């Protein structure tokens, strides 16, 4: 029997969603890589596996990158899975278990979903970094030692590691050149998602993102959250702002009361399908191995 899947996206950040809650099927790194191949598979920025909850939540979400590694958190993906569970249960609030922690999502009306992403990690060991330093501006630079063209990004964890550069013009950044350099910099032992933020005013930001293992994407929810937090810490942004990414805009708020970051945006289904024979064979083989 062919395995069904959904293709979904959050402002262009695209996902394949597999629901294993009934089958209990285990998805391996090998299967994730095969499904993620944009030429021979389906293709995705992340694979989202819906599994039975373990800690009293409504669903457990396992997140795979295209290279088969697991990610701790995915903001846009959380909204997509939340949309499915909200519609399925009729609830207005659901709890999603992830490797990075439990996330609470609510129906915000008008097709929007708000996710409480929890408190950001701001200490060097929470990111994590390979050595102690002030995470508002870490000691990283690109270019000649005496005249770097990028330097001093902020580091923030939103359940996954982020480096945020504030720049004058995001259009001038060669993502495919500098993104991998920062992603794989020795200061980030678990690699990093890399953002380039252009502040147009204290409540509006233009953002481009190089995602860890996925490359340049149209949107990244956790990067938008990390950017707002970094901007507030550097007195560049207010605690609530619209973050405009190539695929669309997210509204991010960093609450003072409980220190939690809220992310609001759409979640849409593109199409439904079934895995073809090749992908089904890889999934079955990997699960049996």
Residues identified as active-site: 74, 220
Distances (CA, A) of 288 to 22, 41, 69, 278: 17, 20, 19, 15
Residue 225: name the closest of 242, 213, 201 by CA: 242
User: What are the CA-CA distances from residue 60 to residues 17, 78, 95 (Å)?
Assistant: 12, 10, 9
Pairing of strands 240-245, 248-254: antiparallel
Q: What angle do CA 7, 10, 261 make, to 5 degrees?
A: 140
Tokens 């499904």 map to which residue? 35
User: Which DSSP state fits 272?
Assistant: E
| Torsion of Cα atoms, 199 then 162 then 130 then 60, to 10° | 160
Pseudo-torsion of CA 58, 60, 65, 67, nearest 10°?
-150
Judged on CB neighbours under 10 Å (0-12, 13-18, 19+), 256 is: exposed
Pair of tokens at residue 131: 């050595």
How far, in Å, CA of 21 to CA of 186, rounded? 38
Facing residues of 214 across strands?
A: none
């Amino acid at each position: 029997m062919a395995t069904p899947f959904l293709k979904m996206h959050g402002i262009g950040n695209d996902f394949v969603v597999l629901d294993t809650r009934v089958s209990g099927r285990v998805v391996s790194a090998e299967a994730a890589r095969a499904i993620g191949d944009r030429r021979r598979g389906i293709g995705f920025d992340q694979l989202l596996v819906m599994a039975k909850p373990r800690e009293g939540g409504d669903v457990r979400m396992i997140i795979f990158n295209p290279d088969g590694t697991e990610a701790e958190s995915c903001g846009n993906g959380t909204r997509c899975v939340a949309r499915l569970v909200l519609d399925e249960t009729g609830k207005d609030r659901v709890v999603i278990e992830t490797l990075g922690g439990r996330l609470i999502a609510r129906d915000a009306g008008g097709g929007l979903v708000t996710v409480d992403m929890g408190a950001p990690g701001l200490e060097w060991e929470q990111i994590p970094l390979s050595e102690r330093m002030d995470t508002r501006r870490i000691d990283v630079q690109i270019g000649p030692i005496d005249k770097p063209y990028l330097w001093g990004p902020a580091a923030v964890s939103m359940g996954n590691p982020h480096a945020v550069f504030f720049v004058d013009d995001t259009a001038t950044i060669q993502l495919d050149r500098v993104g991998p350099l920062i992603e794989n910099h020795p200061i980030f032992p678990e690699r990093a998602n890399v953002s380039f933020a252009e502040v147009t005013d204290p409540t509006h930001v233009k953002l481009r993102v190089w995602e860890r293992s996925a490359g340049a994407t149209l949107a990244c929810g956790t990067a938008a959250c990390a950017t707002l937090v970094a901007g507030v810490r550097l007195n560049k942004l207010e605690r609530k702002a619209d973050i405009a990414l190539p695929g669309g805009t997210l509204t991010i708020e960093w609450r003072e009361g409980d220190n939690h970051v809220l992310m609001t945006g759409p979640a849409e289904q593109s199409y439904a399908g079934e895995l073809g024979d090749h992908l089904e064979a890889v999934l079955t083989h990997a699960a049996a191995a």
